[in-house]
A and B are shown apart, each in its own frame.
Chain A
Amino acid sequence: MSTSTDPAVLTAYTVVCRLDQIEVEGGVAALVGGVAVAIFRTHDGNVYAMSNYDPCSRASVLARGIVGTRGEIPYVASPMHKQAFDLRTGQCLDDAAIRVPTYDVRVADGMVLVGGPRQET
């Protein structure tokens, strides 16, 4: 995450909500380009975005999960069956074959901005 205010960068982003609308270690769902995206805020001040769709339970619910840490990894636990997803990468920590798409996200002037899906690395 960075706080760049370069207009060229910002145009590709959607302003989603104020930062204080996301609780610390909580999440919200937002519509970004017609797609449900879950946005999380961690205790250390970072903001992460990933698809709201839990591929394990096939439901659009990830924003409602509990946010915590596993070792050093910040993660969200699916509210359905508690599979853990790395907030940084979308990788499922309980099943190497499962990964949720993540989104670029920025905070500028107290607002949360979500960009497009990140390219898989």
Chain B
Amino acid sequence: MSPKHRKTLVVAGHGMVGHRFVQAAIERGLTETHDIVVVGEESRPAYDRVALTSFFEVGADELSFLPSGEYDDPRVRLVLGATVDGFDPETRTVLLSDAQGQESVLTYDELVLATGAAPFVPPVPGHDLDGCFVYRTIDDLEAIRDAAAGATVGAVIGGGLLGLEAANALAQLGLETHVVEMAPRLMAVQVDDAGGATLVRHIEKLGLHVHTGARTEQVLGAERVEGLALADEEPIPAEVVVFSAGIRPRDQLARTAGLDVAERGGVLVDERCRTSDEHVWAIGECAAPGGRMYGLVAPGYAMAEVVVDALLGGPGSFTGADMSTKLKLLGVDVASFGDAFAATDGALELVYADAVTGVYKKLVLSADGRQLLGGILVGDASAYGVLRPMVSSGIALPDNPEELILPVGRGGVELGLPDEAQVCSCNDVTKAQILEAVGEGGTCDSASCVTRCTKAGSTCGSCKPVVKKVVEEFFAAQGRVVDKSLCEHFPLTRQELFDVVAVHGYTRFDDIVEAHGRGRGCDVCKPTVASILASQLNGHVLEGPTRTLQDTNDAYLANIQRNGTYSVVPRIPGGEITPEKLIVIGQVAQDFGLYTKITGGQRIDLFGARMEQLPEIWRRLVDAGFESGHAYGKSLRTVKSCVGSTWCRYGVQDSVQLAIDLELRYRGLRSPHKLKGGVSGCARECAEARGKDFGVIATEKGWNLYVGGNGGATPAHARLLAGDLDRDTLIRYLDRFLMYYIRTADRLQRTAPWIDSLDGGLDRVREIVVDDALGLGSELEAAMAWHVDGYFDEWRETLDDPDKLARFVSFVNAPDTPDPNITFRAEREQAVPGESSGPVALGTTIPVGAPR
């Protein structure tokens, strides 16, 4: 046999754990010696199943771990839509069939089983009727969504973690939702009776019906589901039924191949996750290390790392997992960690319960009261990030452990976590690893960078506050202050500066820099102050002393181009324009020899205007009914629209009208960065609204509002802020959202990174905008109303003011002489800038007028 240098590793399964295995294999260099073939059964590459419920909000792309469908490493081949039908440990071959049913055989050196688990469907009569579903894949959710479209009532069988997720999904789809749980309480594995009861109260308040201690006897219906028959209870009518009664390891491949399996299912593996065949490994939910299967993602990730380590000859082993859970179910925080049920001998319980607000917290302490063993949190899990590492690290409790679960505002305690404490359980990151990332030799300078580099906080996110705290404490101890100063002239952030200006009522840069800064400002702080003053005062940007603060484009109300000429963009709200106005634009362009191009924001850009021509050009445009398009400002640009229900046979709402209304409402609004909007008249999303800072998409019932999208170098898809809004509510939320952004964002920070920078991210935005948690709602709306009422067209006002016009001259002493440095050449029948090779002199024959 010829020597074979590279080995082949086959991974059966491309779920979260399979993907993590491949990532780790690439990162740790296993692909230097192995070619990897990953076989995934679903048509999509791995996606975030933990966040499955958000699929309806964010769509499949947002959940995907590998949107491109392939790994960067060419030695990894991903085969999707294919199944592993079997394998033979003797010949080390796997049998594949692809999406077309074509069979093939692959030879492996090592085989990793990552086939996951399958939902368990109890064999009650009628379980296979039309309208019965399970809740595991995006395909399942799509099927549930289709079925829900014509239904009014849905029922979930199973009140565990996944069952409640599924119930959430049904409720989101607008169904009256029942949860049927056989055990006497919800989430029986994670919470105790009191916690379960608290959870039920929360969920019932949301309008869901909970039936505990209820056994499903039969799914009713002839061909389609009509309801559920329960023991000792009235039947429930339902047109959609979702089974979520637990999962079973998918261990059939191993069984067929004759490998050992655990008594209660799962491929039996040792501490290195090796099966009874030395070249076959199993990880994730299909595996049973020591005979026990783990239905959480964190242990699966740990197993993936262990196998990569083993194949590299490392010593790693899997010795059990932290089964702690924290999640938000139907908006209710639930967490369970450590010895949640006080099974340890002599364990003590410390309970705080507030039935009014629906908060239940229980700590389980060691017999001497010095160590935290576990706990349950329902309704408020904010302490989880601090408590869970206390369990795993075993550090001594403070003398007043009750402070750990009492409502905040009562003092609280400072905790010094030991370095070995695990901060992120999903990705097994310790405090020491975080410190290493920010310390000497590390490359991180912020908590978000630590999350990117160490993965701490990147899976469920529950430890993010702790990561942030560890980083901040480290910097504080180092005497390192994270400098958030705007520039050398202001030791303030933009938000602080905004507040300073508002509180003192400043209207002039001179007063601001004198009282709160030093020096005479620069090209960073001056435009920032100009923008803040414009947001707060609604004045003209070329008025008085604010003129010299304006950045390049604002200074001449046009966009400077490479040869020092400007481009002109009149507003075309929603992209709708009459033929008469189109003709005017064409004539202006023709008369001034301007290059014309259609913009991405559905308007027309006219290039090549000399500065001294701008007033003349705008006179023509204003007379024809145009106004400034603010293409030059950090301000609202356009609200793009599709043609909507007026013309389109698919449209469900009038997107053009709404886009025009929104563009006219927010025109002229100065903001930390440019702002773009979009409105689509149906879910086909032709306006690409989700690529905008605010996007509105029509639904049958109203409008969905998405925020935080942008194109550019770091594209971001806007995410759902609120759904099915009527027009007034939509505008109210948008007013609040935009004003809050204007008040609190950093300079040149677009909405997407701004949302990410807030503690709590989009959830925080929703609390402020939708729930009005800060009580700022009416203030923000009033600020926007003030802007809307005070709007005027900057160009029209400029044309009416000789002082402002006086600046639009080529030379102060030769106002009609074109700058000889500006030249044009022709390209594709239009004018484009000529190249300059150095300053051009006109010669002294040109008459220059001496001023009076």
Q: Interface of A with B (CB < 8 Å)?
A: 14-18, 21-26, 28-31, 33-36, 39, 42-43, 51-53, 57-61, 64-71, 74, 77, 79-80, 82, 84, 111
B556 touches A64 (CB 8 A): yes
Interchain CB contact (< 8 A) of B488 among A21, A43, A65, A70: A70
Residues of chain A contacted by B551 (CB below 8 angstroms):
66, 79
> Size range of the interface on B?
35 or more
Indicate whether A31 sits within 8 Å of B846 (C-beta atoms), given known contacts A66-B522, A66-B523. yes
Q: Mark B519-531, 1 if CB is under 8 A from A, else 0.
A: 1111101110000
Given the known inter-chain contacts A31-B848, A66-B527, A111-B851, please indicate yes or no for A58 contacting B836, CB distance below 8 A: yes
Judge whether A53 and B555 touch: CB under 8 Å.
no
Docked Cα-Cα span, A18 to B449, in Å, equals: 54
Residues 505-562 of B at the A interface (beta carbon under 8 Å): 519-523, 525-527, 545, 547-549, 551-552, 555-556, 560, 562
B446 within 8 A of A: no
Contacts of A31 in B (CB 8 A): 811, 813-814, 817, 842, 846, 848
Q: Is the CB of A64 within 8 A of B851?
A: no
Q: In the complex, how many residue pairs between chain A and chain B have their CB atoms under 8 Å apart?
A: 130
Evaluate contact between A24 and B850: CB separation under 8 angstroms: no
Task: Say yes or no: is B315 at the interface (Cβ < 8 Å to chain A).
Answer: no
For window 813-852 of B, CB contacts with A under 8 Å fall at: 813-814, 817, 819-822, 835-839, 841-846, 848, 850-851
Q: For B519, B560, B564, B820, which residue has the most chain A Cβ atoms within 10 angstroms?
A: B564
Query: Is B812 an interface residue, CB under 8 A from the partner?
Result: yes
* Known A18-B851, A60-B819, A67-B548; contact A29-B812, beta-carbon cutoff 8 A: yes
**Bound complex: CA of A79 vs CA of B558, how far in Å?**
13
Establish whether residues B848 and A36, one from each chain, have CB atoms under 8 Å apart when the complex forms.
Answer: no
Question: B810: CB under 8 A from chain A?
Answer: yes
Question: When the two chains form their complex, are residues A69 and B522 in contact, meaning their CB atoms are under 8 A apart?
Answer: yes
Chain B proximity of A33: nearest CB distance (Å): 5
Determine whether B699 belongs to the interface, using a CB cutoff of 8 Å to chain A: no
- Given A36-B839, A58-B836, A61-B564, A68–B522 Cβ distance below 8 Å? yes
Most chain B beta carbons < 10 A, residue from A35, A36, A51, A111 = A36
Chain A residue contacts of B552, Cβ below 8 A: 64-65, 79-80
Could you tell me the distance in whole angstroms from the C-beta of B728 to the nearest C-beta in chain A?
A: 42
Q: Collect the chain A residues with CB atoms within 8 Å of residue B842's CB.
A: 31, 34-35
**Residue from A14, A23, A59, A67 within 8 A of B836 (CB atoms):** A59
Report yes or no: A53 in contact with B838, Cβ–Cβ below 8 A. Answer: yes
Contact of B523 among A14, A58, A61, A65 (CB under 8 A): A65
Task: Identify A34's interface contact among B611, B843, B851, CB under 8 A.
Answer: B843
A60-B822, A68-B521 known; A35-B841 Cβ under 8 A: yes
- Given contacts A31-B814, A69-B519, 13 further A-B pairs with CB under 8 A are A15-B850, A16-B812, A22-B812, A25-B521, A30-B811, A31-B811, A57-B562, A64-B611, A66-B526, A68-B525, A71-B488, A79-B560, A80-B560
Contact B526 A59 (CB under 8 A): no
> Which partner residue on chain B sits nearest A26 by CB separation?
B548
- Least CB separation from A43: chain B residue: B520
In the assembled complex, the CB of B748 is this many whole angstroms from the nearest CB of chain A, namely: 12
Q: How far is the CA of A51 from the CA of B489 in the complex (A)?
A: 27
CA distance A66 to B560 in the complex (A): 14
Return B811 CB to nearest CB of chain A, in Å: 5
